[in-house]
């Protein structure tokens, strides 16, 4: 009976891990334009690599062509990064535009003043 009990307990703790807010924030980082690195939830020393462009993951499930949670997470992260990037670009554009317009005008005015 002991192994069954152990299995049940482990299964239950996995369930809570998947739903608790503390575990809803797994370790993921962007390593390239379309690549992410996710730390394994079960093995702390294992890291899986995700390719969101080709929908691939280096984990056991991913190698079988299954959509694993790493890939789901990487796709979410990719969307987040893309939004953040767009916001950043839009913000920069709005800030930089007046400067790039005034600079050539100022140069032209200077050149005009010196008769160039």
Contact residues for Zn ion, defined by CB under 5 A? 48, 57, 59, 62, 68, 70
Q: Which is nearer to Zn ion, 62 or 78 (CB)?
A: 62
Instruction: State in angstroms the smallest separation of the CB of 13 from Zn ion.
Output: 20
Instruction: State in angstroms the smallest separation of the CB of 24 from Zn ion.
Output: 17
Cα 61 to its chain centre, rounded Å, is 20
What's the token pair of residue 76?
Answer: 């979410």
Instruction: State in angstroms the smallest separation of the CB of 61 from Zn ion.
Output: 5
Q: Which is nearer to Zn ion, 65 or 98 (CB)?
A: 65
Residue 40: name the closest of 60, 11, 15 by CA: 60
Q: Which is nearer to Zn ion, 52 or 59 (CB)?
A: 59
| HEC string for 38-61 | EECCCCCCCEEEEECCCCEECCHH
């Amino acid at each position: 009976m002991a192994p069954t009990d152990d299995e049940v307990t482990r299964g239950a703790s996995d369930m809570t891990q998947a739903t608790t807010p503390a575990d809803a924030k797994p370790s993921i980082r962007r390593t390239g334009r379309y690549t992410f690195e996710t730390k394994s939830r079960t093995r702390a020393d294992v890291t899986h690599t995700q390719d969101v462009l080709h929908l691939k993951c280096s984990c056991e499930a991913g190698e079988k062509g299954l959509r694993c949670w790493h890939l789901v997470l990487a796709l979410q992260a990719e969307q987040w990064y893309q939004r953040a990037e767009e916001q950043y670009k839009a913000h920069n554009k709005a800030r930089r535009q007046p400067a790039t317009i005034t600079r050539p005008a100022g140069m032209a005015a200077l050149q005009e003043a010196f008769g160039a």
